[in-house]
Structure 1
Amino acid sequence: MKIWKSPAGILKLKRFPFAGDASHQAWDAADEWIINRFADYPAVKTRPTAIVGEAFGVLGTALGGGKITALSDSLMSLLSLEENRKLNPSADGPLTVIKADTDFNSPDKAKFEMADKLIIRLPKNLELLEVYIRLSLSLADENTEIWLGGMDKRWNRGVQKITDRYLETAERFPFVRHARWIKYRIKAESEKPASSFKSGEWELERYPVAILPAPAVFASAVMDAGTAAFIEKFPEAEAEAAEVIVDLGCGSGILGLSAAYLNPEGRVIFTDESSLAVANAEANFRNNEFTAAADFLQTNGADGIADASVDLVLCNPPFHYQNIQTREPAEFLFGEARRILKPGGTVQIVGNSHLGYHKLLKDYFIKARDVYRDSKFTVMRGKR
């Protein structure tokens, strides 16, 4: 936790759940700019301030004395918002949380209020930016101020191409300490454009498993090289014999779907912190009409899965969290795998060879060994 003398006052803030090193903090210059603009914004408003896609809940905390709507794909980001609001008693205004897989065409959409101000933090992924903007339009009307901002490395031509598709520019502001914000308004057209994401269903080469692409989901539109290496050394015997299998950090669900194909009598649990990923994994499972049982959990690691209850864990762990490269997520997931595996259970992971995950895994699984290794990727297998 760090103390920040912000434009809204002194705040206690932490990066949750992975703190990084001593040089990392929860806020940046883009947060400071927009908070400075709205620090004196009246806390009591009929309509909420909607905050979309922020990493650590800084804006939802700093402006949290008023009514806040928080929209995010990331469970970790929403939990970080919750943690930081607890640390700051001034952030005691009403909070409504919306996940990125929310269907605004459902009858439940009426419970979401139109926003007075809509603040969108630029994500790294342009597909996710389009998802956020499309969802945000359901919270905006002609009276809503729409703000999009972030650090300079996030601003590119792709951002402008997306914003031009959905929004009208109201005012541009210059970069300040490498941070920039642009003010927009909704377009006059009554209907929003169709999504620009276009990609057809595709099938794995090794197994007859079809994948329905979805925007902003890992390994959804195309097979990534790490997953491809994992599939080539898939633990088929272990998958066929397992009663319960977990695809830990599932993305589009390729690993768990392969296991479901190999073991039609088993149970596969798909977990991810991304609501879009979990929804895509479930859509892929239903589309393939597997007979295996399945559960789909948006959760922190394997939270919600009992200790020593799983026979096989499959995992392609991330090597970064938000804006930093770190082994913290992998260490956390390895610990979760050890916790949920039965004695004698198997874990298989893949990682970039230069990251040294093969050494790290042995801290959790003494019998861990390489089953494949080249200059880019290492596939490892261990026993509980």
Structure 2
Amino acid sequence: MTFSFDALRRSPDVEGPGLVAVDAADRLILDESADARAGTHPERIVVIGDTHGALTLGAADAGARGIRVHQDALSGERALGRNAEGVGLVGTFTRMPLSPELVRDAEVVLLRLPRSLDALADQAGLIAHYAAPGVRVFAGGRLKHMSRSMNEVLGRRFGVVEASLARQKSRVLRASDPREGADPVPARADVDGLVVCAFGGAFAGATIDIGTRLLLAHLPEQMPNHGVVIDFACGTGVVAAELARRHPELTVIASDQSAVAVASARATAEANGVGDRVQVVRDDLLATQPDGSAGLIALNPPFHSDAAVTSALAPRFFREAGRVLRPGGELWTVWNSPLNYRGALERTVGPTRQVARNAKFTVTVSVAR
């Protein structure tokens, strides 16, 4: 079977105009790393941050096998799996968490630059600590999402950091000569009595964003007598931890598709002494939750798919919440007021009323039909 980037798809991730499965940065990373990969043992190639499989499958098409891959988003993992089946490259890679074993003795690392400098710092520290002394890192992205600070972050862990020429509004940073590395450690802060823990790249970091603050201030005092309580798209697990603190009888499910969010939410729950009552799940939407099983869901829906801003994400979350809520169950949602999600909530969940509103955000409660 002939490999073609044109065959790659984003599914099951959201698809639509301007949302692509492969871009110029993926192609440039592969081109810049081609000679290094050709001279490397095929099982010492690592891919980090591959959005939908272009880097992994491009390397596999060139002959690499046993590629170790870490993708933060579960939807990205599933897209890679589907794309591998579509182009006949199943079995060429192994999925791994962001851990020492991912990068141990690696000689070539292909890295899609994250938006978060803290995430890049975690990744660079891990590579420098555990990869082979001669490791070469090819870290690329779109120019509009890159900054000189990325060079500085890599420069703290590598003696040599060079930039490629730009091509099609993309660039690759080449890093080598690893210095002292480190394992990722979550940032930690006490915010109004709640300890927030965040590994690099978790939404809002070790803070509580203003939308979540508004939601927390207006969640109901009484929890449902029937059905589970879910912190949907939980991020660092702030809502789940606070609900578990307020209601000692309650067990809360904290769900997110992001590996770094899940790790952060577990750390937040443990730091607040509620780790035994917050069940953290890495899930594609709420796929592991049965129909009609939840009495209450709290949601601060995302509006980014990778680096792209899109309004197509939130309605998917609303539909999934409507499926999982039992009749009469409640979806408490906070959203940026100009997005005007109330109509979508009415259609996909049920009758919706405004609970609170400030200069930027709106909190609504929708009752499932």
For the criterion TM > 0.5, the same-fold answer is: yes
| Number of equivalenced pairs | 363
Is it true that 1:86 corresponds to 2:85 in the alignment? yes
Amino acid at match of 1:201: A
* Cross-structure match for 1:158: 149
Q: Deviations over 1:339-378 (max 9, x none)?
A: 1111111110101011111221111123111111234111
What residue number does 1:212 align with?
A: 197
In structure 2, C-alpha distance between the alignment counterparts of 1:112 and 1:335, rounded to whole Å:
38
Alpha-carbon separation, structure 2, partners of 1:223 and 1:12: 40
User: Could you tell me how far apart the structure 1 residues matched to 2:244 and 2:189 are?
Assistant: 19
Matched residue type, 1:160: N
Q: Which residue of 1 aligns with 2:7?
A: 12
Q: Name the structure 2 match of 1:269.
A: 253
CA distance in 2, matches of 1:33, 1:26: 15
* Residues 222-371 of structure 1: pairs in structure 2 closer than 5 A: 222-237=207-222, 239=223, 241=225, 243-290=227-274, 293-371=277-355
Measured after TM superposition, the shift of residue 251 of structure 1 is: 0.8
> Paired residue for 1:53?
49
Q: 2:274 aligns to what SS in structure 1?
A: coil
Q: Pick closer, same or farther for the CA change 1:35–1:209 going to 2, 3 Å.
A: closer
Q: Are the equivalent residues in 1 in contact too, given 2:81–2:90 (CA < 8 A)?
A: no
Kept in 2, the 8 Å contact 1:235–1:348? The answer is no
The answer (yes or no) to whether the contact 1:349–1:379 under 8 Å persists in 2 is: yes
Runs (4+) off by over 4 Å: 8-11, 37-44, 197-200, 240-243
Contact persistence 1:118–1:140 (CA under 8 A): no
Query: Superposition RMSD on alpha carbons, in Å?
Result: 2.6
TM-score under structure 2 normalisation? 0.89
Partners in 2 of 1:171 and 1:350 — Cα distance? 43
Deviates more, 1:209-218 or 1:323-332: 209-218
| Closer/same/farther in 2, CA of residues 60 and 46 from structure 1, 3 Å limit | closer
1:347 alignment partner, SS class? strand
Greater shift in the superposed pair: 258-267 or 311-320: 258-267
**Among 175, 179, 196, the residue aligned to 1:184:** 175
Shift in alpha-carbon separation, 1:135–1:21, aligned structure 2, 3 A: same
User: Cα 1:43–1:135, aligned 2, differ >3 Å: closer, same or farther?
Assistant: same
- 2:23 is matched with which residue? 28
SS of structure 2 residue aligned to 1:363? helix
Contact map agreement 2:331 2:366 (CA 8 A) in 1: yes
Quick one: distance in 1 between partners of 2:183 and 2:129? 14
Deviation at residue 227 of structure 1 after TM alignment: 0.5
Q: Indicate if the aligned counterparts of 1:308 and 1:342 stay in contact, CA closer than 8 A.
A: yes
Instruction: Report the counterpart of residue 95 of structure 2 in structure 1.
Output: 97
Unaligned runs of 5+ in 2: none
Structure 1 Cα separation of the partners of residues 206 and 198 of structure 2: 5
Is 1:146 the counterpart of 2:137 in the alignment?
yes
Q: Of residues 94, 110, 115 in structure 2, which corresponds to 1:119?
A: 110
> Please, which of 202, 214, 235 is the counterpart of residue 190 of structure 2?
202
Identity %: 26
CA distance in 2, matches of 1:255, 1:370: 19
**SS of residue matched to 1:64:** helix
Distance 1:247 1:358, change over 3 A: same
Aligned to 1:169: 160
Q: Please report how far the alpha carbon of residue 382 of structure 1 lies from its aligned counterpart in structure 2 after TM superposition.
A: 0.9
Measure how far apart 1:213 and its partner are.
4.1
Shift of 1:86: 1.5
Structure 1 length as normaliser, TM-score?
0.86
SS at the partner of 2:317? helix
Unmatched 5+ residue regions in structure 1? none
